[in-house]
Structures are given as structure tokens and as C-alpha cells.
Structure 1
């Protein structure tokens, strides 16, 4: 077993011990969803369910995780980054042990008393020299830069959307220059220090904070607003989703993806475990999160096989965070995760009020005012609490269905 595999095995073991959900080999899809949410909560790095499944061997994958993923895993178990984890997690054998054929053994001492002073002197001299070399070579180079330029312009008002970044990092001593699409370091791309333009494609609507990074230091940042151009539906395949515009999904006031579409695209929702999302992200519909109300009527219309729980999420996207309202059939509420400006895990909180019967339409209302948040499901109070930190301006909404679903009577307004 090579060191990299040992490190990954050890990291998985520590994560399993931390969450306390039993062996990872027995985890189901909802466990990976909960783990993804917890990693994001603690590290602000989003690891997809499919990425986590690959790491636990649930999905066949011959490659190796990228450094952004490894750093997030290490941070989740309390280390600064992956390098710190590998150094601390696997120290050298102790008590004079050496390794032979992978087995720790004791070396037999044959030195005489007369050789001890000479050997000790050599060891001390080598140690001092090594320490000096390490100190000199490990001193970080002070980053210097001037005349930094960083701006961007989307080329369209929907997705996919290529964004043209203009940058200048020539007047710096940086060894490497990166443009990061958002807060997620996995979306960081190395660019040529001597050039001034770079294009990057965004596949989902939303509000992103793009960053210019020199070496490991963020030196400039600005917001990138990717619109949906009305309602937009996506089938959330990775890495690129399937899209349907409003004219193809809105009929008689109801947003829905027809079964014919899945048949034509040869999509097996049950087999692939896919989610369908409905986005509405528009610059002219942004509201402050200090006083607003969102109302919607919806229905999860799938509920087969592994998607029997009919999990549904309403995500109110802010420029500094998000509110996530979960729904499912009543028997699955223990697997839900509610996010206001605090996290509420269904494993340790009673979220039974978010259990519903999707045979009928379900109404949901979210209201924020006077630093209080209230959520009603079918006109019954489901959650009330403080709302002190906020998510900034509400820039858009994403309604997600495990499998697929339908939406009507959506409204977002200031109050």
C-alpha cells in the first residue's frame, strides 16, 4: 500500500469517527449528502456527493483527488491542510526502529564506547547544518506586487456563461498566478503571469466572488453575477448539467420537466440518482434579507427506488450565504438539514414539521423581519428563530427535487 492510499484511508477513518455514523462502507446517499453539508459548514468548501462517493469507493474512479478536495478533508478533521495531515498522521517509527520489507525492526548496535564521542560530534554537526539549511530554504519569500488589475464581464445573461477576466499581475514577484471562480478553491485555475485575459465558464446561475490569487494570497476580488434569464431548469449531471429554458418548462402556470424529455435524453433518474433544479436568478429581482417574504407551492413527483424519500430543497441564495429549507416524506425527516443563519441537522434536531405528503401540493413560506425568521409548511409553523447574521441580499432562488417535481405560485417580495 503506497503512502497516498494510506493517508486517504486514515483520513476517511478519522472522518467516520468524527461524524459517528458507523463504517463508511455502509453509508447511503443521504449520509454523503449530510457529510457534504457538514464539510461546507466547517470549511466553506463544497464537495459534491459524487466526489465523496468516489472517495469512499461507492463510484468507480481510477484517478486521484485534487489538492482542493484533500485540503478540505484535512481541514474537516482539524488540520490546516493536506500537507499538515500527512506529516502529523504518519510519523516515522520510534524507539530506534527501522523498516525492512515494510516491517518495523530493531537495528543491532555494534558501535564501541570509543566511537561514541566522534559519532556524537558528527551527528551534532550534521544536525546543525541541516537545521540551518532548512531555516534558510523554508523562509517564505515576501510577496510584492503593484498595479494590480482584476475585472470581468459575462458574455451572456444565461448559462452556460463564459466570463472574460481582465487581470494584471506582471508587476509582482509571484511564482504563480491563479483566478478562482468563487469561494471554492476547486474552481481555481492557473493563468499566465505575463498575459492579461483569461476566460472561465460558469455552468450554474448564482452570485460568485471571483478572486485573483498570487502564490497563495488573495490580492483582489469582485462579484460575478450569473443570471438565469427567467426560470431555468437543470438536470444536475456532473460536470455539465442539462438545461431547459422557461418556454419549455412553464405550462399553464406550472413549472415542470415533462417525462418525454427524460425519455428523449435516455435519462434514468432512479438509476443515476439525479436531481432536477429550477433556478430564478435575476439582477432586477434582488431583495434585502432584512425584511422579505418568499412563498411557493410545489410537489415532488418522483419517489422511486433510492429516491423514495422525495427529498426537496428550497435554496434562497444570498451574496454572503444561503437559506436552505428541506422537505421529505415524513419517514425521512431524520435525514434532513435546515440552514438559516445557523445549521440544524435532522439527526440532532426535530425537523418533523418538514415531513409532508407529496400526493398533494405543498405550500412553503419563509419570512424574515426584525432579525427573526419564520418558516411555515402547509400554513403550519415549522420553524421560528433568531436571524442575526443574515445572508446579505437575496439574489436568487433554486428549488431542487430528488428525481423531479413541479412548482407554481412562486413569489418573492419585500415587506
Structure 2
């Protein structure tokens, strides 16, 4: 079938809208009509090759929509079901079987290899064009339709507002899950969140849900700090004006029990670790350039019992956490809608520009078919001209996810 997709063709260059051919689902796959897809900084980072993936590729990994067709072996969903798409996992390794699919042994092959684990792809260019890579995070949802693995599909309630559901598949799940699943702070404890972009805001909201009494939001953008207060932060630190380590130690009498680091900036991660009290834990969530290193004092920082842990996809079991967060949203206790600005898929490059300029926290794209005439080269060039290439590290932290 013919689909419209936003294609990353060259490193650091704007996405291009193209018509591609999409195969029908295999026995263990699902064809989803994509109604919305969140734009995540990971999409931008991989387009810019912070982690080497084969290009050209269709990215997008926060898709939500309606099942159009299922493979012969699929039992989880049926046509007409509303679904959220998330990361893929094998379901049979020791990590999947123990409830930690985000650390699946086949995680890379199933999510960032540029193809299915067997090397094939469901997306194809016209015969005269080059190979197209897909199956990104087991979905490639920057398109009107996507082929997803059954394990990467989460069925949601029929009355779900999909516009709010898409981002939960990655960024929101990551921020909330890091608090709920990995840190598990005690009621009444103190936590600091470094970088309150969409992921950090999800951590703030989750910290309020689990009963943290002191929730410290750290950022350099005053408007984000103001929103963080509305969403649950009890204290705000403008890291562009004060030293966050000193400020946190002063307001907590020596440091917090937990920190969440979302920026992928090594110096900010160092601040997050140095803000911990003895026995405290720092969760590192941000995706930085390959080779980024964190330098800390092992004797004075780690021997007093501090822990630094990486967290992928919130250490989540998606079939449980995603519906839970959507239910909490419906109750008004997890207002993810406060983070979202909506764009057409045709305006993906404008969304990238706005996200990188700090004009929006979470861009959600609505795929639509190409006009009958297609998109002219002049229009493509005009759209491309408005987009900046992502900097490897922001001049002013945080590069919040």
C-alpha cells in the first residue's frame, strides 16, 4: 500500500515528505493507521547520527492510532482497536521474562538497527530510488501507516484521546517510569529533576503522584519552571542564575534522596549526582552523543553510598504503565495535555525548529496524505530553509528531552 512518510535522508538535514510502499503485516505484526505521533528529541538526535543508524530512514516512535489489519498469529488486538506504539522486545530473554523488557537482549536489533531483526524492511522506495530503512523502535510512525510488532503494541480504551496518548509511548513513559519503577521514592522524600522538558515534566508529575513532599525543578527557562510548579514542583531553581548544587543542599539540609537527569549534558549530570545526600540515587535518562562521559569523585561521592543508574524507557512494562498513565490523565491527576502542541506531519520541520528553540515542550504530529500534486521541490526547499541543524550540545543547558 502507498503511504506518506517523513524521511530522514541525510545527516543533520530536514525531513522530506515522500510517498513510499508499505508491505502488509507479517503473521506477528500489526498494521496501524497512525492518527498522531510525538516528535521526540531522540528522533532528531538519530537523524543527526548521535548514534549511527542507516539512512535514509523513516523514524518516529511515539505513534498512536487505530489497528487497520493484523497478522495471522496476532491475538493482542483486532482491527478497529485504538493502540499506542512503543519499543519492541523479544519476550523470551531473561530480562523480558523478569519484567524488564526495556533491557531486552535484542533491544538494539528490534529498535535501532534500521530493519527487522532478520534484516528485512516493510518500507520501500520506488524502484529507481535507494533502499529505505524502517522498523524504528519497532514502528517507524512518522507516516500515515506503520507496521509494528505485536509486542510493541499497547491496546488502550476506546474513548482514549489519541492526541494525548502518543507521547506516552516513549518520552512520558520514560520520565514517569524512571520515578515510579526505578527510583520508587518513599512518600515524604525529596527529589530534584534536572531539565524540565517533556521527560522532566513527566518525572515531576510522577513524583507528585507517589507522594514526594519536596519536588525541585531545575532548568534555565523561567516559563518551563513556572509550568513545573503548576504540575507539582514545590521548589524551582534557575540554573542560569544560581548554582543548583549549593541551592539544593541549602534547601534540603545536605542534599536530596533522588535526582532525575534528562538533559544528556555531562556537566548537568554531574550536578545531579553532586546534589544527592548519602545513600541517594541519580537516574540518568538523557540520550547524548556516543562517547559522552560522566566524571565524578569516586571516593567522596560514591563511597558514601550514592548510586548512579541509567534508565531506559522508564524500566517499564508498557502494557501496564501506559494504560495506567492514561487513566490517571483521565482523572486529571497526570495532565500530559499541558505539554502538547499539535502540528501536521507536513510541518514536521517547523515542529523540529520550535522544539529546538524552546517554543514547545512536546510536539505531536498528525499524519496526512500528500496533496494530489505531491510536494514541489520549491516547497520542500522552503520548508527546509526554516530548520536549523541540531547542535551536538546546547549552549545553555538543559537540552531537555
TM range (shorter): under 0.3
Structure whose CA Rg is larger = 1
TM-score (norm 2): 0.21
TM-score (norm 1): 0.21
Greater helix percent: which structure?
2
Higher relative contact order by CA 8 Å / sep ≥ 6: 1 or 2?
2
